[in-house]
Amino acid sequence: LFTRAWTFSRGSPGLDHLPPDDRPEIAFAGRSNVGKSSLINALVGQRTLARASNTPGRTQELNFFTDPNADLYLVDMPGYGFAEAPKDKVAAWNKTLRSFLAGRRTLLRVFVLVDARHGLKPVDDEIMALLDGAAVSYQVLLTKADKISRTDLERVTANTTKSLAKHPAAYPRVLATSSETGMGFEDLRAVVAKLIDA
């Protein structure tokens, strides 16, 4: 699946340009600069599929990528946590996001990306509360694991796992990844494969 040539399918600023829900999909969410584009690119082994580094205030869009067999959509959700973003825009976007999450029957799981150096932040808790509310299954992926020591990584993984206990829709297993070293990607691909098979 991840050795195929993935392509950008479409971007949807609201809910009116979504592609038809004709195949399973998994989504990726996380604070801006968390390493989301790098992770999507590393997952499919294509360096330029997802655009790296988002511009603050850029139009918020859901970006859909697909493989040539149309077996799966990868959904790149806009980075959150821009301090500069105007409040009304954030509120409008959260509303759109909530409708998308609640209404998308083919959405199998949202991967919530968290920087391994920082652990969960209040904005991550907000997005997780939103996912809990929509009863959408989600799983935390720690990113940039190569940037910290093994001891620190174990500590952050344990703390994150502990925090997830109070989130009903969270999948308990936290995966540590690095787009630089490839750490965690074998596990991540296996998780995705299992989701599609199920």
Stretch that binds ligand GDP, among 30-38, 103-111, 122-130, 153-161 (CB under 6 A): 30-38
Stretch that binds ligand GDP, among 52-60, 131-139, 158-166, 184-192 (CB under 6 A): 52-60
Q: Cα-flanking dihedrals φ and ψ of residue 150, to 5°?
A: -60, -40
Residue 188 in contact with ligand GDP, rule: CB under 6 A: no
What is the rounded CA–CA span in Å between residue 110 and residue 83? 23
What's the distance, Cα to Cα, between the start and end of the chain in Å?
Answer: 15
Residue 146 in contact with ligand GDP, rule: CB under 6 A: yes
Question: Is 194 in contact with 1 (CB distance < 8 Å)?
Answer: no
Nearer to ligand GDP, 20 or 142 (CB): 142
Residue 121 in contact with ligand GDP, rule: CB under 6 A: no
Nearer to ligand GDP, 132 or 180 (CB): 180
Residue 142 in contact with ligand GDP, rule: CB under 6 A: no
Residue 60 in contact with ligand GDP, rule: CB under 6 A: no
Which of 29, 37, 44, 67 binds ligand GDP (CB under 6 A)? It is 37
Residue 180 in contact with ligand GDP, rule: CB under 6 A: yes
Residue 152 in contact with ligand GDP, rule: CB under 6 A: no
Of 48, 49, 55, 64, the C-alpha closest to 11 is: 64
**Nearest distance in Å: CB 103, ligand GDP:** 25
Q: Which amino acid is at 88?
A: D
> Residue 112: in which H helix or E strand, if any?
strand 107-115
Q: Residue 20 carries which DSSP code? A: P
β-bridge pairing 25-30 and 138-143: unpaired
What is the per-residue DSSP string for 48-65?
Answer: TSSPSSPPTTPPP-EEEE
**Interacting residue ranges for ligand GDP, rule: CB under 6 A:** 30, 32-38, 52-54, 79, 143-144, 146-147, 178-180
